């Protein structure tokens, strides 16, 4: 793995002070803004709303079959907004809804395999940028970064956001 000196980054960003909450907040806002820029571009290219892309990522990352109700809770949307979102995603060919065989009232949302290829193709530059950034760090540093991100996501997941 390349060290920060070898990769030409010179170490930490000059605006950042390790351990300073404001430095973390600025870096996280910037990363969020850059990712949102890419998400909005994908949404526009696919004729979707940015919330639809958020929903797609929840469907993709869900470890178990996802229901519209769980998606509603995760996104903090109304039932009607989730239905409209799923209608757009289904019409665009990104998801399919299927009734559970044991209980026909239960609907599961599935990502369509062909749609994954479109998302992968569009977001490949993001994956490549993440890989280039990852290569600037050794395994020990990456382990710490992943621990931080996991802890942050856990804390954020515990926050209760008012429903729209």
Residue 162 vs residue 146, higher pLDDT: 146
* pLDDT in the model for residue 115: 85
- Supply the pLDDT for residue 164: 59
Average pLDDT, the chain: 86
Looking at residues 103-124, what average pLDDT do you find? 87
* Per-residue pLDDT tens digits for 128-152: 999 999 999 999 999 999 999 999 9
- For residue 56, what are the CA distances in angstroms to 5, 33, 38, 41, 90? 38, 19, 14, 15, 11
Say what the pLDDT of residue 120 is.
Answer: 85
CA–CA dist 11, 18 (Å, integer):
11
H, E, C per residue of 40-88:
HHHHHHHCCCHHHHHHHHHHHHCCCCECHHHHHHHHCCCHHHHHHHHHH
- Cα–Cα distance measured from residue 163 to residue 63, given in angstroms and rounded to the nearest whole number: 24
- Examine the pLDDT at 159 and tell me if it is beyond 60: yes
Distance CA 141, CA 46 (A): 37
Taking the C-alpha atoms of residue 112 and residue 134, their distance in angstroms, rounded to an integer, is 30
pLDDT tens digit sequence for 92-110: 999 999 997 788 889 999 9
Q: Mean per-residue pLDDT for 102-122?
A: 86
Q: Which CATH architecture describes the domain 32-158? A: Orthogonal Bundle (1.10)
pLDDT of residue 10: 42
| Percent of the chain residues past pLDDT 90, beyond the cut | 54
Average pLDDT rounded to a whole number, residues 10-29: 76
Q: Is the pLDDT of residue 87 over 90?
A: yes
Rg (C-alpha) for the chain, rounded Å, is 19
Distances (CA, A) of 127 to 8, 38, 67, 102, 130: 21, 12, 28, 39, 5
Query: What is the per-residue pLDDT for 1?
Result: 44
């Amino acid at each position: 793995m390349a060290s920060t000196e070898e990769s030409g980054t010179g170490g930490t960003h000059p605006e950042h002070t390790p351990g300073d909450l404001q430095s973390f907040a600025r870096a996280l806002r910037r990363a969020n803004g850059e990712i949102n820029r890419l998400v909005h571009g994908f949404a526009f290219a696919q004729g979707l709303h940015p919330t639809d892309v958020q929903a797609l990522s929840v469907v993709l990352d869900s470890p178990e079959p996802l229901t519209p109700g769980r998606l509603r809770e995760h996104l903090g949307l109304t039932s009607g907004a989730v239905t409209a979102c799923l209608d757009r995603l289904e019409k665009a060919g990104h998801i399919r809804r299927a009734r559970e065989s044991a209980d026909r009232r239960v609907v599961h949302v599935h990502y369509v395999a062909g749609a994954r290829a479109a998302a992968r193709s569009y977001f490949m530059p993001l994956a490549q940028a993440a890989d280039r950034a990852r290569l600037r760090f050794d395994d020990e540093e990456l382990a710490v970064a992943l621990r931080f991100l996991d802890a942050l996501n856990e804390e954020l997941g515990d926050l209760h956001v008012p429903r729209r």
